[in-house]
Structure 1
């Protein structure tokens, strides 16, 4: 999938030094991930990603609108990490169950991702099988957390 190739490349780019992707999920930095769709429909909306980090709970919260995909299934959240750095990419994407009419779709959502330890940087991406539609980075270990 092009999306996976992008995530692997972006995780490597985010890391200051080269390293292996953390594919050993026994020591995964993510302990829980959830996404709730608040509204969805046909049409184009602006892609929006509004990340914030709750340091007391080691939890990333994301409010957003994923738009421009033709996939019509539920939303999912996945991630890629790099053991050589404390940087993580979180991906929000629509799965395609093929049970609806074809049209450009939007999803307004809220997502949370919980971590064992706070990462230095979290990048949140919206993607479809064809491309990455939007990405936003959040620097966590700064006081207060800042987004770029």
Structure 2
């Protein structure tokens, strides 16, 4: 058995072309992640083009072409297995990885910096803080007020 939270199967990701889920970081903030097929299974990436914070999967699956993720805003393409971009407005950038593990065809979230909030996008999430987030903490770590 693999440590981590079960997400889906490699077969599901390959059939759909991509698979979207939402994670919560240690501060309770939500972020979307896409799983995309690779020759060795799947890779997980934050669902955001580093050029202008454009969502790569806007709820209909990530646009994929020849093993690359296509940014819907400017058409830059990212290697689905390495995350690198060498063309368009996002050239020279890299997608932010999220660690996943594949075990016997099942995909698990193995990145310990986040927890699974839900399948699908942020709009599908329960936006209340996670049970393990301390509600007594301030909403900001800054001591500066405006």
Structure 1 and Structure 2 fold alike (TM over 0.5): no
Q: TM-score, normalised by structure 1?
A: 0.24
Q: Give the TM-score, by structure 2 length.
A: 0.24
Larger Rg: 2
